[in-house]
Structure 1
């Protein structure tokens, strides 16, 4: 029995009293009568103030009121910004305006009044439409390049995730070669610095005038301009296969000269309509 094991001072041969506490007031598990160990923490790891060794209470906040991620109960950090980067006044940390870099406010609404979820739905439907139109030929690869923020590879992955049929995926995958050909933008300065063509057996370096004429020709004809199409057009022009380039260029110059001439006439007419008295005041 415990009483029989007790000696004069109330502790048994192992140093514990009737309640199981030693002279320092701790039981065999290392806790005192209040339930705290020698370090001052309870079995569930909290001290008398209610904080664990990491300095956080049972709700996960420190003495200053911030959680492990550095945010308070309202969701703001020590600088006053929430996870989205907005302060309590709805101003974004980076843009210094009510909208973040993607155009959404603190409530997730853009300038058009559309939420992120709504935009995601629009994006999702837009991608599905692109898959269908590319596969059917209703949309050309150049139209896709001009009107898409994603690459063809990303669209193919989207189609696979949405479990489109094999034929649809094959059709858009077959466009990869054309996509690579047409996606590169034309760099006029680089082209002029590094390009030498073989024209009738002679090396010819395209001039800026040659390039400008061809680009203007493409613009007027609504042709898609990229590195591949621009190079091909310039090459055809210098090889004499596009005589209409010069005629169209000259015609546009004449039209521009005529437009300027008409503008000058209008200005002269307006000046002639000003009363002599007003002209004298001006001079």
Structure 2
């Protein structure tokens, strides 16, 4: 490397080994031959993967190439040549059978389905689902011609006249009870009808349909009537017909007004409308503030809303959202029109365009202008109030003054101004 080139490199910030202060060479690689994005000149990072996520062999971190196959030829779902453990994605082998041994039509290698019937609907013995064989005879012999292999005729009854559930054509079993459990007279095995009364007219509690007990009274030996209540109107659990106990509470522990013994309703609110935490249903405490400390109008206990302003629109520093205080001035002392309390703007000019020394931006003195206006009746003076000139006439006024100044000699002008100052 020539001396000149070394000097140039040093000026560009590279050391004698060709690295800058960030330890990168001119091509943007560090001593480990990685660039700022941590990739080498071949485009691979420190872990051996390129920007697309593949290593030098062409496989990603999971071991699959761009086509989605690993080194053994399996895809991400574990299939190779369309099969996984001998089955394709639909679950069939190359021969067309699933793991249960049935093909897509539902038949196994022997030609039978899961119910044991072939494509014609017959089992291996030649009988259909109703028990009749393919030749039209029933159960093989002339003696049993009316019954299938299970021993039932076409109406579903066996030789004894009962169906598979044990009931005859009239609906009664061998014990004389129908499917609902009642005999021909309408009584079950316990001797009660479908209303719960026995042949003598009493239910299992001993009461008849009129509510009278078999002991001759309207109450059983325990003192309770047919409806379960005693002469005082309470049931065995101690509740009256309205559902309340002697203390006036129902089964859930609430009185007629809906309050428990502690005075809270089912929603957790006390009789005064506040819960144990001290908040009402609207979420406000007894002082009218919510959990965040704001009342219904949106103001906190200090009188400020969430944005930090009081009801009059001022923050704690005394400024409104536009940055003006109650007197109409901002923090640097100017009102919304841009004037301070003395009537001057940020540049030092008043509403009529004059500074504190009485000059406008052109250097024209206010006293001279007022004197000139009073002597020239053709100038519109309707906007002159208390010796202040409103801006609407300022443009025309400046033009007139400029013309007047040109007609004076400079000395006369100075003399005129001095006279006006003395006699203003």
Q: TM-score, normalised by structure 1?
A: 0.36
> Could you say which structure has the greater relative contact order, defined with CA pairs below 8 angstroms and 6 or more residues apart?
1
**More helix per residue:** 1
Highest Rg: 1 or 2? 2
Q: TM-score, normalised by structure 2?
A: 0.25
